[in-house]
Amino acid sequence: MGDQSSLADRAWPLVIRLMPLYVRLYRATGGRIGQRLPGSPPILLLDHKGARSGKKRTTPLVHMPDGENLVVVGAKGGYPKHPSWVHNLRAHPDTEVQVGSNKISVHATEANAEERQLLWSKAVEYNPAWRRYQRRTKRTLPVVILRQRPA
């Protein structure tokens, strides 16, 4: 696992620079390119507003369906700090996601302890990478529930 982790750490600066291109390609193709990557669960585009700056941002995230809701995990590869999108959703929970060609208005809430316990076991079965990322850090990875809201 150490080699994979260090490779991911070294690749992160490149991944960050390629993210805007990935987002444009996903949007331009209605998710036909980008929603599914080999060996990865489905990916959505999360729009969020900067907690302090108010600047609009978009982050591709692996998501897990949970009934009518979507679940995302603030893993950030097991880095010591939460991803910025978690902080942004805490400040501005009403937002939009794109799943394939569908744009969905959502309200984001962090799972409470009971919800997290129920969702976590499903989540790590659905995407084993989340378990590896949790083992890599001392912080508890946030589990965020995206509930559909009227547009």
DSSP, collapsed to helix, strand or coil, labels residue 29 as: coil
Whether residue 123 has pLDDT greater than 70: yes
Residue 110 pLDDT grade (very low, low, confident, very high; cuts 50, 70, 90): very high
What's the CA gap between 63 and 32, in Å, rounded?
16
Q: What residues contact residue 1 under an 8 Å CB cut-off, 6+ apart?
A: 132
More reliable by pLDDT, 5 or 45? 45
Host domain of residue 55: 2-148
Summarised one tens digit per residue, pLDDT across range 64-98 is: 999 999 999 999 988 899 999 999 999 999 999 99
Q: Provide the CATH number for the domain around residue 95.
A: 2.30.110.10
Is residue 96 within 8 A of residue 146, CB to CB? The reply is no
Query: What confidence score (pLDDT) does residue 17 get?
Result: 84
Q: What is the pLDDT of residues 131-146, one digit of tens each?
A: 999 999 999 999 999 9
pLDDT beyond 90 at 29: yes
More confident residue, 143 or 7: 143
Count Cα atoms within 13 angstroms, Cβ side, for 141: 26
Number of domains present in the structure of the chain: 1
- Amino acid identity at 131: R
